[in-house]
Chains A and B, each alone.
Chain A
């Protein structure tokens, strides 16, 4: 069937005609019946959407977004229906996140965010998997030992969500490369393992106007907060205004080299890593869906050993 080019969105009728005529859809309910709406969406399989994208010569993510706008949900998001509105699902699909660090927090977060429906990922980590990562890092397996964490994370997300746009950088974040890494990013996720690097990232985020979500773990515990820059047109968001660096407030003394060495050798439970990643994903969602006020959010502390979750004011 000849299809309009990607320049013109398909009408609901055109979409439904294509979908109901697809070999994979014949005989299924909803074929050729009333157009779907918010209360009665149509769920469509990946193969059908992939064929539609191929015919139209446009990215699968764009076709998924177009379908969602007509209440046609990708089957992969069937169980997201009821959690997110069409508008929220489209926002997630259109969002780009930076995962700075792709080990413990970064690996678990990548999987969570890909399954939630985030559409684009930038992965950054200079390290490769080692055997001691097997106890807690989601993408560290006996097969991936020795491979760069950023590349493995990118492959894993492509396996989970072939529509996602994925870029990986096998490098450490620096003051020089952060502006480029943050370009076009909607939320940056701090999965780094030193207070200095975390602070560097938060500072760069606030200066670039990119919301920041901090995560830190040690033993059975984890900490999370978000820092959302003030709008650039507000007095607090003016270019010469000093950003309110949460990590500088949390760790005014920083972290000595000896403390960093000790922290890197300390025990870390996969429960604290996975639990903290869940809290970070929750903060990321709130930001992307417009539910996070500018400024520093509360500080969350998880003790996965008890378990106990508490929040603190600054």
Chain B
């Protein structure tokens, strides 16, 4: 299945050449979870604080579906 991944701030450092404008368009095995996706793109799961799938807050254990748009964030907590 094909999914679109958008990475925020420091998580972008984990993916060399990441293009913030387009995000990552990836083919991953059917039924993969967000956590498995993170491992696939070598983003340490513990650095991911917020998961949004198709504009809704989700859990790292949630299963992805073909065509999903996944946004991953660290803590954005500065003032």
A residues with a Cβ closer than 8 A to B are: 101, 103-106, 190-195, 198, 215-223, 249-251, 253, 255, 259-260, 263-264, 266, 268, 299, 301, 303, 305-306, 310-314
Surface stretch bound by A, among B24-32, B34-42, B50-58: B50-58
The secondary-structure label for the interface of chain A is mixed
Task: Give the CA-CA distance A251 to B8 in the complex, in Å.
Answer: 15
Closest to B21 in A: A306
Chain B residues with CB under 8 A of A223: 73, 76
Closest to B78 in A: A217
Q: Quick one: which of B49, B57, B74, B76 has the most chain A CB within 10 A?
A: B76
Contact A312 B57 (CB under 8 A): yes
> Residue-by-residue, is B1-12 near A (CB-CB < 8 Å gives 1, otherwise 0)?
000000011100
> Residue-by-residue, is B59-79 near A (CB-CB < 8 Å gives 1, otherwise 0)?
000000000000101111111
Question: CB within 8 A of B77: which of A103, A198, A303, A306?
Answer: A198
A312-B56, A314-B57 known; A217-B20 Cβ under 8 A = no
Contact A216 B76 (CB under 8 A): yes
**Shortest distance from the beta carbon of B64 to any chain A beta carbon, whole Å:** 17
Contact B77 A216 (CB under 8 A): yes
Closest to A259 in B: B75
Chain B residues with CB under 8 A of A218: 8-10, 74-78
Task: Give the CA-CA distance A314 to B56 in the complex, in Å.
Answer: 6
Task: Give the CA-CA distance A298 to B34 in the complex, in Å.
Answer: 22
A-B contact pairs, 28 of them (CB 8 A): A101-B79, A104-B79, A191-B79, A193-B77, A193-B79, A194-B77, A198-B77, A216-B78, A217-B76, A218-B9, A218-B10, A218-B75, A218-B78, A220-B9, A223-B76, A250-B50, A251-B77, A255-B75, A255-B77, A260-B77, A263-B75, A263-B77, A263-B78, A303-B8, A311-B55, A312-B57, A312-B71, A313-B55
B residues with a Cβ closer than 8 A to A are: 8-10, 20-21, 49-50, 52, 55-57, 71, 73-79
Closest to A105 in B: B79
Q: A216-B77, A259-B74 are in contact. List 16 more A-B contacts (CB 8 A).
A: A106-B79, A191-B79, A193-B78, A216-B76, A218-B77, A220-B9, A221-B76, A250-B50, A251-B77, A253-B49, A266-B9, A306-B20, A306-B21, A310-B71, A314-B56, A314-B57
Contact A195 B79 (CB under 8 A): no
Contact B57 A251 (CB under 8 A): no
Chain A residues with CB under 8 A of B20: 303, 305-306
Closest to B8 in A: A221
Chain B residues with CB under 8 A of A255: 75, 77
Closest to B52 in A: A312
Task: Give the CA-CA distance A222 to B78 in the complex, in Å.
Answer: 9
Q: Quick one: which of A101, A222, A250 has the most chain B CB within 10 A?
A: A250
